[in-house]
């Protein structure tokens, strides 16, 4: 009986949960990576394929897993907030890549080669006073 309990404890210890945060534009993603997994991918409690609408968004979110060819080995749970749907897909991608680095530092070179570890710093420029937008001026009239 004790031997069976010890084997169950070992199985529980091998299961890992990794956490990382990803950001893109105004979007922030909290990402949990469960290993070993079945390939389940949930974003805000919904399946990722129903949350991300376009094929590009779906591919962008799964890109780090595709780069290491291990999509079926992990379960991904992400909570995203802020920004638009494209920014959220980029944030999830960065979060997954950071989780994979925590799991195996040897993957860093592969992910860096595909530029999956770089946080894209581009955000919306703020509106300035005396302007219609960030740079657009009001129309000038002569008379």
Does residue 143 sit within a domain? no
**DSSP class of residue 24?**
E
Question: Burial letters for 92-123: b for 16+ Cβ neighbours within 10 Å, e otherwise?
Answer: bbbbbbbbbbebeeebeebbeeeebbeeeeee
- When the pLDDT of each residue in the chain is averaged and rounded to a whole number, the result is 87
Q: In this structure, is residue 3 part of a structural domain?
A: no
**104 within a domain of the structure (yes/no):** yes
Domain assignment present for residue 124? The answer is no
Number of structural domains the chain divides into? 1
pLDDT at site 1 = 47
In a domain? residue 131: no
- For residue range 85-105, list pLDDT tens digits in order: 999 999 999 999 999 999 889
Q: Which domain holds residue 58?
A: 13-113
Give the model confidence (pLDDT) of 1-11 as tens digits: 445 444 444 54
CATH number at residue 90: 3.30.230.10
CA distance 20 to 95: 5
103, β-bridge pairs: none
């Amino acid at each position: 009986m004790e031997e069976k309990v010890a084997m169950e404890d070992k199985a529980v210890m091998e299961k890992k949960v990794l956490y990382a945060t990803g950001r893109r534009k105004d979007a922030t993603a909290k990402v949990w990576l469960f290993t070993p997994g079945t390939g389940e991918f949930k974003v805000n409690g919904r399946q990722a394929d129903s949350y991300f609408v376009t094929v590009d968004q779906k591919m962008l979110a799964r890109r780090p897993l595709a780069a290491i060819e291990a999509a079926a080995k992990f379960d991904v749970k992400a909570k995203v907030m802020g920004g638009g749907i494209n920014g959220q897909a980029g944030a999830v991608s960065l979060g997954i890549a950071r989780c994979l680095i925590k799991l195996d530092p040897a993957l860093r070179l592969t992910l860096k080669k595909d530029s999956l570890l770089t946080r894209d710093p581009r955000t919306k420029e703020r509106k300035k006073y005396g302007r219609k937008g960030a740079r657009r001026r009001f129309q000038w009239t002569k008379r």
